[in-house]
Amino acid sequence: QVQLVESGGGLVQAGGSLNLSCAASGRTFSGYAMGWFRQAPGNEREFVAAISWTGVRKFYADSVKDRFTISGDNAKNTLYLQMNSLKPEETAVYYCAATGSGDITIANRYGFWGQGTQVTVSS
């Protein structure tokens, strides 16, 4: 059974940092991309960042470029998202997604999702 478990969310002041983790288990994700998405109340799920299996290719939403860094440790089957200079409007539930293919900035290109971790940025 595939499991993606996010952790690292919490409450942080504007300008602060958080490092999210996503532990994957249950199957191999070799050859597939993994990504992070977020969803605020009343909004659609939006792309944040994605990384190829090799880690060579990384993609970011324009709004997070130069502030967020996606990385992965294939040996540990863990995906990370380092978030710096957080803004109140980035308050959302952050989701990890696996087995992305094709246009990996689109949510429906992923086959597996975690339960999400809440990130709250206070002003």
What average pLDDT does the segment 10-34 reach? Answer: 92
Q: How far is 59 from 116, CA to CA, in rounded Å?
A: 20
d(CA 41, CA 118): 11
Q: If pLDDT is split at 50, 70 and 90, which confidence band does 99 have?
A: confident
Encode pLDDT of 39-90 as tens digits: 999 999 999 999 998 889 999 999 999 999 999 998 888 999 999 999 999 9
- Torsion over CA of 101, 110, 50 and 123, rounded to 10 degrees? 160
Three-class SS of 55-75? CCCEEECCCCCCCEEEEEECC
Kind and range of the H or E run holding 27:
none
Residue 105 has pLDDT above 90, yes or no: yes
